[in-house]
Amino acid sequence: MGLSKGERDLIVVSTILKVLLFPAYRSTDFEVHRNWLAITRNLPLKEWYQDTTSEWTLDYPPFFAYFSYLLSIPARLLLPHKYSEHILRLSEKAVEGWDVTGYMRLSVLISEIVLFTAVLRLSKSSSNGSSTRLVSLAIALHPGFIILDSIHFQYNGFLFGIMLWSLIGAKENRPIVCAAFFAALLNFKHIYIYLAPAWFIYLLRQYCIPPGTGLTLHLKPLVQIGSATLAVFAVSLGPFLYLNQGTQLLARLFPFTRGLMHAYWAPNAWASVTLLDRILLQIAKHPHLELPVSSTGVASTSRGLVGDTYFAVLPNITPLHCFLLTGITQFVQLIPLWRQPSYKTFLQAIAACGFSSFMFGWHVHEKAVMLVLVPLSLLSSEDWNHFQAFVIASVSGLIGLFPLLFNAAETPVKMGYSLIWLVIVCTRLRQGASKPTPTLASHIVDTAQNVYLASAIPLLIFTSILHPSFTLSGRISARYEFLPLMMTSVWCSIGLWVAWGRLVVGMWLDLPHQGGLKID
C-alpha cells in the first residue's frame, strides 16, 4: 500500500517547510550536537566521555555517539576542506556559519527517513487501512517534530522512528525485532528507559509466560529475546567497558546534580506543586500567620538553573520521591498489560508509562511530552475515549512546547502549523470515531473538556500578545516576566492530567472486552 498523491504532496510540502526553516531560531542544542560531531571526529574513543573542551559535553548513550561520528563522515568526504574543518572544529565556544547551519539542519532532515519508512510500514501492516494511514501520516507530520527538530534542533523524529520499528516488530509478532530495536533505542537516548517496563512486561507475558499456561516459563523465546537484547548492549557498551570508561559513562548519563525543575516549569505535577508553594509563600507573609518559610526556598528561582530546587513552604522533593511515584503509578498501570498482553494494551501501557515519567519525573524536560503524544496518536483511532484523550493531550502538549520558541518570527509557524495539523487530524479522526451513548457523567466531562480547550485561545492571546505588550509599555512589572511560563505550564498540566485519566479509565474498562483473563 503506497502513498496516495495527496499524501505524497503533504510530505513534499512538509519537507519544503523544513528546508525554509533552516535559518530559523535554534537553541543551544544545535551547538551541543555540532560539538558531539567534533568530539567523535577529533578524539579517540576513550576520550569521548572525558572531554570538557566545551561545556556541551557528550551525555547521550554510545549509539548516539556512534551516530554523531557517522554524521561527521559526509562532511569530511563531500565538503571542501575549509568547510569540513569549520563544521567539525573542536572549540570551547560555539561555531557559527551558514555551512554549519546547513549541514546540521540537513542531517536532521535526512535522519527523518527512519521515521517516514516506519510510518509507511505501519500503514501497510494494518487491516484498518484508512484510519491507520491517517494516524501514520499524522505522526510523520507531527508539529512536535517541526518545533523540536526543524526549529529548536534535536533528532526526535529519528529516535521515534526507531521506536516505531520496535512497535512494528510487536505488531507483526516478531519479538526479537521488537526487543532489538528497543534495546537500540535505549542506547541512543536513555530517556526511553521510562518506557522500558511496558516493553519488558509485554515481551515477558506475550512470549515467555503467555496467558493460559500458568506461570510456566518458555525458555526458548526468553533466550532468543534476551540474547538479542544483550547483543545490542554489548555492541553499544562493550568498547567503553573494555577501555574502563564505564564509571565515567554512567556519570555523564545520570547527572543527579540537576534540579527538580528544568528550563521552565514543565507542565507536570511539579508545576502545580511549585505554583502552590509560591501561593503559600505569599500567604505566609501575612503578619498573623506563622507558617515556616525556608530562606533557601525563597531564593530558589526554579527557572532553568542547574542545581537543586527548593520549596519555601512545602516539603522539598528528592529524586527518591520522583522514582517512587513514577514506579508505583507505572506498576498499577501495567496490570492490564500483564492480564491481557495485546498490541492495544501494549500501546496503552507505553502511553501510561510516558505519563507517569513526565508527570512525576525528576528534572523533566518539556520536550519529553512526546513520550506521551506519539503512543497516544497510535491509539487515537481506537475508540471515542482514546480519541478524546488524544485531542486534549495534543492541544495541551503542543502549547506546552510553544515557549521553547520565544522569538516573534517563529510564532506564526508554531501556532499556524499546529492549528492546521490539529484541525485536519482531529476532524478526520472524529468522523471515524463512534461516540458512545451519552450519559450525564460523560456529558459533564465532555463539556468541561470543551471549555478547557476553548480557554486555550485567551491563554495564547495573553501570553503571546498582551503580556509582551504590557511589559514593554510598563503596565506589567518586569518582576512578573515568569507569568506567561507559569500560566502555560499549569494550564497544560491540567489537560495532561485529564488525558491521563481518560487513558487509565479506558485501560481498565477495555479489559473485560478483551477477555478478562485472570493472573495465573
Q: Which of 275, 318, 319 is nearest to 488 (CA)?
A: 275
Identify whether 428 is part of a domain. yes
User: Does residue 312 lie in a domain region?
Assistant: no
Per residue in 505-515, pLDDT (tens digit) is: 989 887 765 44
Which residue type does 221 have?
A: P
Q: How far is CA 111 from CA 59, 116, 149, 332, 377, in A?
A: 20, 10, 11, 36, 21
- Would residue 486 count as lying in a domain? yes
Residue 394's φ and ψ, nearest 5 degrees, are -65, -45
Q: Domain limits at 73?
A: 25-111
Examine residue 66 and state whether it is found in any structural domain, yes or no: yes
370 lies in some domain: yes
The length of the chain in residues reads 520
Single residue among 111, 134, 151 that ends a domain in this structure: 111
**Residue 271, burial from CB neighbour count under 10 angstroms (0-12, 13-18, 19+):** buried
C-beta neighbour count of 138 within 10 angstroms = 24
Q: DSSP assignment of 150-161, as one string?
A: III---HHHHHH
* pTM of the model as a whole: 0.92
Per-residue pLDDT tens digits of the chain, which is 520 residues long: 466 777 788 888 899 999 999 999 999 999 999 999 999 999 999 999 999 999 999 999 999 999 999 999 999 999 999 999 999 999 999 999 999 999 999 999 999 999 999 999 988 876 666 788 899 999 999 999 999 999 999 999 999 999 999 999 999 999 999 999 999 999 999 999 999 999 999 999 999 999 877 788 899 999 999 999 999 999 999 999 999 999 999 999 987 666 666 556 789 998 888 888 888 888 887 776 777 777 666 666 544 444 456 788 888 888 899 999 999 999 999 999 999 999 999 999 999 999 999 999 988 888 999 999 999 999 999 999 999 999 999 999 999 999 999 888 899 999 999 999 999 999 999 988 888 888 898 889 889 999 999 999 999 999 998 888 877 777 776 667 778 888 999 999 999 999 999 999 989 887 765 443 333 3
Rounded Cα–Cα distance for residues 95 and 38 (Å) = 11
Separation between Cα atoms, residue 265 and residue 274, nearest integer Å = 8
Q: Is residue 214 part of a domain?
A: no
Give the domain-ending residue among 61, 80, 111: 111
Task: Report the C-alpha gap between 486 and 463 in whole angstroms.
Answer: 10
Domain boundary among 111, 130, 146: 111
In a domain, 369, yes or no: yes
Is residue 436 one of the residues assigned to a domain? Answer: yes
The continuous run of DSSP H or E covering 496 comes out as helix 483-510
Instruction: Count up the domains in the chain and report the number.
Output: 2
Look up residue 122 and give its three cell numbers.
505501519
pLDDT tens for 438-492 read 889 888 988 999 999 999 999 999 999 888 887 777 777 666 777 888 899 999 9
